[in-house]
Amino acid sequence: MNSTPHLLVVADTREKNIIAEMLAAFDARCHVVHSLEDLGKTPPRSEFHGMMVDLHSFFKIPLKVREYFKEHTHALPTLKVYIDPQKKTFVINKLTKNDNHAQSLQNFISDCAETQPRKIRRAQRHKIFLNVTLDEQMSNTADISRNGCFIFTTGETFKPGDEIFVRFLELGDQTPIPCTIMRKAQWGAKFAPAGIGVDFISMTEPQRIELESIFLEHHEKKDALMELNCNEMG
């Protein structure tokens, strides 16, 4: 691919200029957000080849944001760095056996240049199975966010770009929710579910509030389970 890499940088205000200068020296562009909670606030059409995260920001990750961050690290090359704003130096948190810090940064940027750029998901996905009907078909969600969801289906008529209406059994307000099909996964791919990824065009305020309540309850259950596991291990 060998394109000029465009990196998403997560850094506090005092570190962002240092990182931008570092990347410019390697002919890389960057867009800076100030916390991992702001990942979804990137320009809607922007695509990135990789991520750099300042360790100050990394250690501030709230539990509810960790899965959202982890999802992106699986999709894009990610490098964690420690910036010393006084000395204007950086330390890579993980080096290969024979690398120095500058060489490790160069290797990372080269990897990014070979990576297919991707958009950053605007909202955290929650692996919640909701009952859903679409065009008279009954199915379930594989995951859902405040902006869209992935729905299991082998329907042949669904195509990217189509507009459909869905209803979620768990919501009290059963007003049909208009959606745009963004992608389709065909049946038959190994180890991958068939279905469609949709973006919500709009929904009523009661539906949005109830969805947020479902997300919150889901996280509270996960946090409680994690705490229980930690206590048992301790």
Nearest CA among 9, 66, 15 for reference residue 37: 66
Which pair of structure tokens corresponds to residue 101?
A: 């810090």
**Domains contained in the chain, number:** 2
Could you tell me the CATH number of the domain that includes residue 40?
3.40.50
Give the mean pLDDT of 81-110: 70
Asked whether the beta carbons of 23 and 110 are under 8 A apart, the reply is no
List, for residues 49-73, the tens digit of each pLDDT value.
988 888 888 887 776 677 777 777 7
Q: Does position 227 have pLDDT exceeding 60, yes or no?
A: no
Question: Is 101 in the same domain as 34?
Answer: yes
Q: Which residue range is the domain that position 153 belongs to? A: 131-226
Domain boundary among 119, 152, 187: 119
Q: What SS3 string covers the chain?
A: CCCCCEEEEECCHHHHHHHHHHHHHCCCEEEEECCHHHHHHCCCCCEECEEEEEHHHHCCCCHHHHHHHHHHHHHCCEEEEEEECCCCEEEECCCCCCCCHHHHHHHHHHHHHCCCCEECCCCCCECCCCEEEECCEEEEEEEECCCEEEEECCCCCCCCCCEEEEEECCCCCCCCEEEEEEEEECCCCCCCCCEEEEEECCCCHHHHHHHHHHHHHHHHHHHHHHHHHHHHHC
Burial of 5: CB neighbours in 10 Å, binned 0-12, 13-18, 19+: buried
pLDDT recorded at residue 126: 84
Supply the angle between the helices 63-75 and 205-233 in degrees, to the nearest 10. Answer: 90
Q: Does position 119 have pLDDT exceeding 90, yes or no?
A: no
Cα gap 74→76, rounded to integer Å: 6
Domain boundary among 90, 119, 148: 119
Cα gap 8→46, rounded to integer Å: 10
Which pair of structure tokens corresponds to residue 141?
A: 């969600």
Could you tell me the CATH number of the domain that includes residue 186?
2.40.10.220
Q: Does position 198 have pLDDT exceeding 80, yes or no?
A: yes
pLDDT recorded at residue 98: 47
Domain boundary among 88, 119, 150: 119
Contacts of 96 (CB under 8 A, 6+ apart): 104, 107
Q: Is residue 38 part of a domain?
A: yes
pLDDT recorded at residue 97: 43
Question: Is 58 in the same domain as 145?
Answer: no
Q: Is residue 154 part of a domain?
A: yes
Give the mean pLDDT of 1-24: 79
Across 107-111, 125-129, 171-175, the highest mean pLDDT is recorded for 171-175
Give me the chain's average pLDDT, please: 82
Burial of 124: CB neighbours in 10 Å, binned 0-12, 13-18, 19+: buried
Which pair of structure tokens corresponds to residue 117?
A: 């750029």
